[in-house]
Amino acid sequence: MNTDPNILNEIREISPLLADLHGINVFQAPDNYFQNLPESVLIRLDKEKVNLNIQEPSFEVPNGYFESLSSNILKKIKEEEMGSESDELPPVLSGQKSINPFFIPQNYFETFPQTVLDKIRNEDKRETGKIVSFHFKKIYRYATAAVIAVGLFLTSYLMFQNNSGKGKSGFAVVTRKTVDDPGALKYNSEKAFNEGIASLSDDQIIRYLEKNGNSFDMDALINSSDTSGLPNPEDYLIDENTLNNYLNKINYKNFETQ
């Protein structure tokens, strides 16, 4: 090997020892290795099926190639997009991908929009009812308040009548003649009536109203009630505390224990 004098000088300046060793090769290659190497590489290329046979370039295109090129490309893109996911699946699953084991009623999709529209219309109707339903309990509480108010009114009225000397007992109005249910006869005094009312829970009152609410003569009830102190129903619907404030105002607790 011809040594480049510049490189030799360079190493001599750094290390004379290495300059003296320059050019010595301790490694050896087998005999005829370099003579045989090109053939060995070409044999390997052939064994590994690397394309050694160069085909002449062909500049011809099939008939109608360019006419159908754009649609073929689009088709290929679509196929690849569709196939990209199924390619990731095991063959046993990708083969099943197009099989739908589920059945639907005949004309399901034809009638589906109308079905949905009908459902929406029905829901709209129910929605209105639901607003009432949403405040169902509140309205019964409102009715409870009205009943209490009526009770207060009647009690006051009867007591006034009683105190006017019409009878010894203010609650003597509850007789066999006015009440069909014999169990109600035990409420024949003001005290018994108050205790009976006080013993009822809200739920019992609500259940009673749910069962018999329709049997009330609402006109008679409203006409005989002093509803002037009741909150406006709209206020009540907007603010839940309105009814509570009213009950506190009329000293509801005291009424219960009276």
Partner 1 sequence: MSTEIQSDEELLLQFRDPSTKERAFESIIKKYQEKLYWHIRRLVINHEDANDVLQNMFIKVWKSLDNFREESQLYTWLYRISTNESLTFLNNQKKRNSISLDDEEYSPAYKLKSDPHFDANKLEWKLQMAIQSLPEKQKLVFNLRYYDEMPYEQMSKVLETSTGALKASYHHAAKKIEDFILNH
Pick between residue 12 and residue 135 the one whose CB is nearest to partner 1.
Answer: 12
Q: Which residues contact 248 (CB under 8 A, 6 or more apart)?
A: none
Q: Which residues bind partner 1 (CB under 8 A)?
A: 3-4, 7, 11, 14-15, 17-18, 21-22, 24-30, 33-34, 37-38, 40-42, 44-45, 48, 50, 52, 54-57
Token pair of 54 as six digits: 């160069």
3-state per-residue secondary structure call for 118-175: HHHHHHHHHHHHHHHHHCHHHHHHHHHHHHHHHHHHHHHHHHHHHHHHHCCCCCCCCC
Q: Which region, left, alpha or beta, applies to residue 49 given φ > 0 means left and ψ of -120 to 50 means alpha?
A: left
* Minimum distance, C-beta of residue 37 to partner 1, in the bound complex (Å): 5
Instruction: Measure CA of the first residue to CA of the last residue in the chain; give whole Å.
Output: 127
* Minimum distance, C-beta of residue 101 to partner 1, in the bound complex (Å): 47
Pick between residue 42 and residue 220 the one whose CB is nearest to partner 1.
Answer: 42
* Minimum distance, C-beta of residue 102 to partner 1, in the bound complex (Å): 50
Pick between residue 47 and residue 125 the one whose CB is nearest to partner 1.
Answer: 47
Amino acid letter, residue 120: I
Nearest CA among 166, 163, 148, 156 for reference residue 251: 148
Token pair of 14 as six digits: 């750094």
Pick between residue 15 and residue 111 the one whose CB is nearest to partner 1.
Answer: 15
Pick between residue 12 and residue 138 the one whose CB is nearest to partner 1.
Answer: 12
Q: Is 17 exposed, middle or buried (0-12, 13-18, 19+ CB in 10 A)?
A: exposed
DSSP 247: H
CA dist 160 and 194 (Å) reads 16
* Minimum distance, C-beta of residue 21 to partner 1, in the bound complex (Å): 5
* Minimum distance, C-beta of residue 9 to partner 1, in the bound complex (Å): 12
Pick between residue 35 and residue 223 the one whose CB is nearest to partner 1.
Answer: 35
Pick between residue 36 and residue 204 the one whose CB is nearest to partner 1.
Answer: 36
CA dist 99 and 114 (Å) reads 28
* Minimum distance, C-beta of residue 38 to partner 1, in the bound complex (Å): 4
Report how many helices (DSSP H) and strands (DSSP E) the chain contains, helices first: 13, 0
* Minimum distance, C-beta of residue 58 to partner 1, in the bound complex (Å): 12
